[in-house]
Structure formats: structure tokens, C-alpha cells
Amino acid sequence: MYWRGRSLGGVRSGDPTRIAYLDNAPTTPMRPEAVAPMLPFLADRFRNPSGAHAESPAARQAIDEARDVVAECLGCQPGEIVFTGGGTEADNLALFGAVARRGGIPVCTAVEHHAVLHSVQELRGRVVGVDADGVVDLDALVGALAGGTVSVVSVMLANNEVGTIQPLAEVARIMREHAPNAVLHTDAVQAFPWLDVASLAWPAELVAVSAHKFGGPKGVGALVVRSGTPVAPIIHGGGQERDRRSGTHNVAGIVAMAAAMQATLRDRSSEVARVGALRDRLADGLLSSVPGAHETGDRSKKIAGNCHVRFDGIESEALLVLLDEAGVCASAGSACASGAMEPSQVLRAMGFTVAQSLSSVRLSLGVTTTEADIDLALKAIPDAVAALRARAS
Ligand code: PLP
């Protein structure tokens, strides 16, 4: 629970209206455990880790230590970590880098984040459909692998809009049979706060994560590149990250990401239980108190923090405005393209109509979500839906 005008540092000013931040899928507030170790590298310890000054080795050492932590949290060797400028870059490096080295074309699911989907489209790859819960259609995947030209398959571990978890082990089994020379990439950006990525992503040669989804800073992420997986750099320059990603290291960001990962792993099982119960209370409460409310997808196949619902006859854009006024931060199942609201490609791929897609909202919970946030949402959302329906009648 936050208050309007109150900074994350706890300085209270302005309107004391409470805010329920239920928009953790786009970004999360930074964990204090990540802020503290970051600060010295923004101040006195600002040196370039590749520099020749006496202080540079300290920055290098900080990166080495962070690399060890990140590798352990992701279940790989330190040398298999490539630090990037976030999840989008990690996904782009995986796809463009793999295709540049191996030739051929990529395949992905229709519910991937645009960082993957647009890369696959740019590389003239194939897109595989999903079922009504957003789970990849494995028969369609077999079909897409035909012809022997596929060199990389990208299937996200958990979806950013509806939270569906994909059967990665099954995908890997199918690849072994139908495209044994292709590599598997998984976008684990939304999965990391909730799932044991180290064990679930083991079949993937390439695994992308992003710090700001689990209490780290924006603009830093990592790609696991398993040893023996050739990936060409997409950013050229000074040859950092063993020539896989050039550019001066974001030392503060990398150190903070490692700290946020450690804290996430420490709390993950208890947070999954706590937040999952809050999500269930929210979803069940909305379904029982709002006529014409429908939950998206099968909850048992979703990450704990995702609550995705639609309300018959309601435009989510208008609903979000009323919710914002009531202090509830959420997102719509739509994206703004050239000023017009476009229905989400994820919901359309799951078989929803344009109208259904445009009446959907995503409430994404996180480690800062409290019972009071859910109380506020369970009051504000039914009120806002009723107000919109009254206006329309
Ligand atoms: N992949 C998924 C599934 C995401 O949800 C996001 C961000 O929303 C990204 C990739 C992009 O990550 P970043 O914001 O770090 O570029």
C-alpha cells in the first residue's frame, strides 16, 4: 500500500489518499536490499570496471561477485551469464545472436512479449498458436518445426499479460525429436519472481531475465548463454562480456540485480503462498461481487501474482481511469498504437473477440502487495464497473 505523493523513501507529502499498486507486471518497486548495495557505485565507487585506475579492480570484483550470485540463482555457470541492458535486449540478443551464428529461422508462440515476437517477425520466423488458456499448441509446434530450417525456438516461461506458465520440458522434448539442431530460448522475465527458473528453464540454452520485474533497477538484465551455444553479439564495441555484449558495465545496476535476485530467492516460496492467497481473494471477490465478470485462463496454470479479468460491456480504458482516481493502479489488455487502443495480441491469440479483449484488465500483485490493497481493489472495482454501467444505461 502506498500513498499519493509519498516517495518510496517514505517521505510523505501531498494527498494522503491510499494507493493500491496492482501493476507489478510492468515494473516493481525496488527492494531495499537492492537499493542499499547499489548506492556506493553511484557515488564514490563510480569507477569504470574496465579502467586502469587503482579503484577499477574493486568495480570489476563487484561485477564478478554479482555474476556468481546471478549464476547461482539461475542455475548456470558464471561464465554463462551475459549482463544486458534489460529483458528486451536479452531477448533480442538470444534471437538475433542465435540466428546470426546458426542461420535458419526462429519460431515463437503467439503470446510472447513484443521483445520476442517482433524480433521473430523481423527475422521472418514462424509463430505458433496457443489454446484458450494461453498454453502453446504442441501439435502446431511440431508443424512449425517441419522442413529442417528452424534454428531457434522461443517459448516464454510465464506470460506477462495473463500469467500462463508454459510446458518448457514438453517443448524441449518435441524439439529433440523434430528439430534436434535447434536451440531453445525462454523469456523468464515474468517467471523469475514466482517460479524456480533454475530448475524449470534447464532445457533452455538461452534464458532471459530483467531486474526491474523482481525488485531490481530498470535497464539491467541478463541472458544465460549455456556453454557451447554460439550467439553473435548484437552490440559491438569494447568487447565486454567476453565479446558477447559490448558497452561499459552498469556496475550499480548489476550489483543491485544480484541483491534483488538473492532476496527474491530467499522469500520466493513464502511470497508465492502469501501473494497467491491474496490473488485468489481478489479474483474470487471480483467474480462473486461483479455481475458479468470473467476470469481469463485457468488459474492453476498461472503465476501467483496474476489476476486477469474482464467485465461484460465495460471498456477497460474507461475503467482504468476510474480506478486510477480511486487509487488502484492496474493495466488493460490492450496497447496504445497511434492513439487508438489496440486489442492485446495475447488475448486475441487465446481466442477472445476484440470487444472481450478491450474489456479486460490485469491486476498484477507483487511482494509489496498487502491485504489493504486487496480491500481497496475489492471496493473500487465493483463501484467503478457499476458507475460505468449506470452511465451507459
Ligand atoms: N519479456 C517480458 C515477458 C516482459 O514482461 C518484459 C517487460 O515487460 C520484457 C520482456 C522486456 O523487459 P525490459 O522492460 O527489461 O526490457
Supply the pLDDT for residue 11.
36
Please report, for residues 172, 242, 243, the alpha-carbon distance to residue 76 in angstroms, rounded to integers and kept in the order given: 18, 16, 19
Pocket flag, ligand 1, residue 87 (CB < 6 Å)? yes
Unique residue bearing C-alpha cell 523434430: 178
For ligand 1, atom 5, which residue shows the shortest CA distance?
160
Out of 73, 76, 307, 336, pick the active-site residue.
Answer: 336
CB 34 within 8 A of CB 222: no
Supply the pLDDT for residue 14.
38
pTM over 0.75: yes
Phi, psi of 107 (to 5 degrees): -130, 140
Q: Strand pairing of 334-337 and 340-343? A: antiparallel
Pocket flag, ligand 1, residue 310 (CB < 6 Å)? no
Ligand 1 center to 81 CA (angstroms): 18
Ligand 1 center to 261 CA (angstroms): 16
Supply the pLDDT for residue 179.
97
- CA–CA separation, 49 and 36 (whole Å): 20
Please report, for residues 87, 101, 225, 277, 371, the alpha-carbon distance to residue 232 in angstroms, rounded to integers and kept in the order given: 17, 6, 11, 43, 47
- What the block records as the C-alpha cell of 241 is 562480456
Supply the pLDDT for residue 48.
82
- CA–CA separation, 333 and 336 (whole Å): 10
User: Is 76 noted as a catalytic residue in this protein?
Assistant: no
* Domain ranges for the chain: 2-29+268-392, 32-263
- CA–CA separation, 366 and 13 (whole Å): 24
Neighbouring residues of 48: CB distance < 8 A, sequence distance ≥ 6: 56, 59, 248, 249
Pocket flag, ligand 1, residue 253 (CB < 6 Å)? no
CB 246 within 8 A of CB 96: no
- What the block records as the C-alpha cell of 345 is 495480441
For ligand 1, atom 14, which residue shows the shortest CA distance?
87
Supply the pLDDT for residue 49.
86
For ligand 1, atom 10, which residue shows the shortest CA distance?
87
- CA–CA separation, 84 and 250 (whole Å): 9
Supply the pLDDT for residue 6.
52
Per-residue pLDDT tens, the chain, 393 aa: give them. 776 755 444 333 334 468 999 999 999 999 999 999 999 999 988 888 887 777 778 889 999 999 999 999 999 999 999 999 999 999 999 999 999 999 999 999 999 999 999 999 999 999 999 999 999 999 999 999 999 999 999 999 999 999 999 999 999 999 999 999 999 999 999 999 999 999 999 999 999 999 999 999 999 999 999 999 999 999 999 999 999 999 999 999 999 999 999 999 999 999 999 999 999 999 999 999 999 999 999 999 999 999 999 999 999 999 999 999 999 999 996 555 555 678 899 999 999 999 999 999 999 999 999 999 999 999 999 999 999 999 988
- CA–CA separation, 154 and 214 (whole Å): 22
- CA–CA separation, 207 and 222 (whole Å): 8
What DSSP line would sit under 312-357, residue for residue?
TT--HHHHHHHHHHTTEE-EESEEEETTEEEEPHHHHHTT--HHHH
From the DSSP assignment, how many helices (H) and strands (E) are in the chain? 13, 16
CB 25 within 8 A of CB 15: no
Tell which one of 91, 213, 218 to mutate to probe ligand 1, the residue whose CB is within 8 A of the most ligand atoms: 213
Pocket flag, ligand 1, residue 164 (CB < 6 Å)? no
Name which CATH class applies to 32-263.
Answer: alpha beta
DSSP helix, strand, coil percent of the chain (3-state; round to 5): 45, 20, 40
Ligand 1 center to 391 CA (angstroms): 36
Tell which one of 24, 117, 162, 210 to mutate to probe ligand 1, the residue whose CB is within 8 A of the most ligand atoms: 210
- CA–CA separation, 200 and 204 (whole Å): 9
Name which CATH class applies to 2-29+268-392.
Answer: alpha beta
For ligand 1, atom 7, which residue shows the shortest CA distance?
26
Neighbouring residues of 68: CB distance < 8 A, sequence distance ≥ 6: 78
CB 268 within 8 A of CB 241: no
